């Protein structure tokens, strides 16, 4: 199921590259050790200091957790992300503390750790309860999810209104979709909302044209592409502005089976 999903909602190669670049940029600017996500994981560790980092991406949280003395299993299905992840682990000299597993969650193997973390991953799943339930079976002390509260692709909204005015903009699930699904599954979790300011995922909006054009369905339409280029150039400032962005740490003790 998750594998299917990953294909559905996640992404063309271009999207994945842009996501990797965005995550790397974010790693460079944020003080990961102070992140509420890392703090939540550290607060619930036991003596083994073991963590599953589900959907580790480029290692934004894997590396600070390993640096804090955790033994991390980093689970990541994307070959492109894995290249960046391994690079990050080497750069930070923590490869020895991290086992990388090339796979999608849920895994077929019954891995266990004190804390199971999935930061900004569950939105790619079409089965939130199944995803969270598998985390509960894997974690002995705590399950920690991070999800977006504000829309993830908010920058697409004004473009969608211009190019596809008669259709609703695509929606990536966020807190408002995910938390009720957890409640429905009997998971009543602690929630902490935090705010970050995100710069754009590009150094110039024109870098995002292939991704935006694919999403708008205009990649094969030269006239629409020229219009998109013009809009991005005219409204460059708007598309380069850092956006305040709220996210939620959702954290709960796994229920006994
Ligand atoms: C937005 S990134 C977040 C990466 C990292 N957790 C962070 O916050 O920096 C989402 C990652 O989840 C991965 N992913 C998507 N679906 C997944 C699944 N079912 N199991 C594991 N990883 C998944 C993607 O390949 C991508 O690397």
* pLDDT, tens digit, 9 for 90 and up, residues 128-148: 999 999 999 999 999 999 999
Give me the count of residues in the chain.
257
Residue with tokens 């909006």: 205
Which CATH topology does 2-152+168-198+243-252 take? Rossmann fold (3.40.50)
Q: What is the pLDDT of residue 197?
A: 66
The percent of residues above 70 in pLDDT, for the chain, comes to 93
Q: Is it the case that residue 127 has pLDDT exceeding 90?
A: yes
pLDDT category at 59 given cuts 50, 70, 90 is very high
Q: What is the pLDDT of residue 12?
A: 61
* pLDDT, tens digit, 9 for 90 and up, residues 206-221: 888 988 898 899 999 9
Could you tell me the end-to-end alpha-carbon distance of the chain, in angstroms, rounded to an integer? 22
Inter-residue contact 138 to 112 (CB < 8 Å): yes
* Assigned token pair, 1: 């199921």
What ranges do the domains of the chain cover?
2-152+168-198+243-252, 200-241
Between the CA of 54 and the centroid of ligand 1 the distance, in Å, is 7
DSSP of 110-173: ---EEEEEEES-GGG-S-HHHHHHHHHHHEEEEEEEEEESS-TTGGGHHHHHHH-TTSPPP---
What residue ranges line ligand 1, CB within 6 angstroms? 2, 6, 10, 19, 23, 54-57, 60-61, 75-78, 81, 104-105, 119-121, 124-125
């Amino acid at each position: 199921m998750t594998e299917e999903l990953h294909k559905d909602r996640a992404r063309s190669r271009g999207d994945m590259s842009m996501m990797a670049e965005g995550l790397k940029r974010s790693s460079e600017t944020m003080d990961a050790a102070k992140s509420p996500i890392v703090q939540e994981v550290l607060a619930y560790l036991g003596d083994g200091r073991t963590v599953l980092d589900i959907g580790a991406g480029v290692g934004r949280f894997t590396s600070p957790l390993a640096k804090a003395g955790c033994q991390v299993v980093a689970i990541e299905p994307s070959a492109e992300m894995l290249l960046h992840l391994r690079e990050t682990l080497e750069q930070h000299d923590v490869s020895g503390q991290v086992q990388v597993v090339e796979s999608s969650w849920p895994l077929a193997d019954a891995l266990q750790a004190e804390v199971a973390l999935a930061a900004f991953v569950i939105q790619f799943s079409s089965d939130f309860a199944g995803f969270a339930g598998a985390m509960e079976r894997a974690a002995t002390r705590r399950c920690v999810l991070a999800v977006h509260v504000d829309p993830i692709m908010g920058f697409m909204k004004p473009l969608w209104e211009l190019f596809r005015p008669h259709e609703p903009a695509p929606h990536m699930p966020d807190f408002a979709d995910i938390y009720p699904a957890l409640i429905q599954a009997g998971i009543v979790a602690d929630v902490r909302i935090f705010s970050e300011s995100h710069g754009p995922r590009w150094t110039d909006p024109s870098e995002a044209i292939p991704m935006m054009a694919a999403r708008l369905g205009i990649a094969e339409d030269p006239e629409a592409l020229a219009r998109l280029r013009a809009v991005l150039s005219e409204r460059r400032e708007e598309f380069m502005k850092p956006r305040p962005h709220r996210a939620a740490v959702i954290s709960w003790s796994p229920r006994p089976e």
